[in-house]
């Protein structure tokens, strides 16, 4: 059954960025955190808490609707997939995302959007991330 990435209790997050490292390594064959589809950052400075920024697998994603090249496709397994050969690099998807979950790869001229593969959840040492079957509450 299809699953989507969910975030649970970011208060447990220690900011190790393992989720970001694994995402970039698996999906972009890179060790750069800037290539990760999930972003972890502090809110409130060095003494603040860690917060996440990741695609929430909207039912009717604005990023897909706004794409003039039909390069973004809703994945039946959750999230949005980028059809690289169709993307024109206009960044409309990035601008329209209301939760700032679409990043952009300057080198490839392509958006970076979580496609809910679950690698970040698998390697999160404190289980702040998990995969949830679609349709469950």
* Domain residue spans of the chain: 3-130
| Each residue's pLDDT tens digit, 89-109 | 999 999 999 999 999 999 999
Tens of pLDDT, residue by residue over 34-61, are 999 999 999 887 778 899 999 999 889 9
User: What's the average model confidence in pLDDT over 53-75?
Assistant: 94
Residue 119 has pLDDT above 80, yes or no: yes
Residue 58: both structure tokens together? 């909207």
Q: Which residues contact 106 (CB under 8 A, 6 or more apart)?
A: none
Pair 121, 131: CB distance under 8 Å: yes
Tell which residue, 92, 87, 130, 133, has the closest CA to residue 110.
87
| Choice between 84 and 43, residue whose per-residue pLDDT is larger | 84
- Give the CATH fold of the 3-130 domain: Alpha-Beta Plaits (3.30.70)
What is the pLDDT confidence band of residue 9, given thresholds at 50, 70 and 90? confident
Distance separating alpha carbons of residues 82 and 77, to the nearest angstrom: 14
Phi, psi of 110 (to 5 degrees): -140, 150
Residue 137 has pLDDT above 70, yes or no: no
């Amino acid at each position: 059954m299809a699953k989507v990435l969910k975030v649970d209790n970011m208060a447990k997050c220690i900011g190790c960025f393992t989720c970001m490292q694994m995402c970039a390594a698996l999906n972009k064959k890179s060790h750069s955190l800037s290539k990760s589809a999930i972003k972890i950052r502090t809110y409130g400075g060095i003494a603040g808490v860690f917060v996440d920024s990741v695609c929430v697998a909207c039912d009717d994603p604005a990023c897909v609707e706004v794409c003039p090249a039909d390069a973004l496709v809703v994945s039946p397994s959750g999230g949005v997939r980028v059809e690289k050969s169709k993307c024109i690099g206009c960044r409309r998807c990035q601008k329209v995302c209301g939760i700032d979950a679409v990043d952009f790869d300057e080198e490839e001229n392509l958006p970076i959007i979580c496609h809910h593969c679950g690698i970040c959840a698998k390697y999160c040492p404190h289980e702040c991330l998990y995969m949830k079957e679609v349709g469950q509450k």
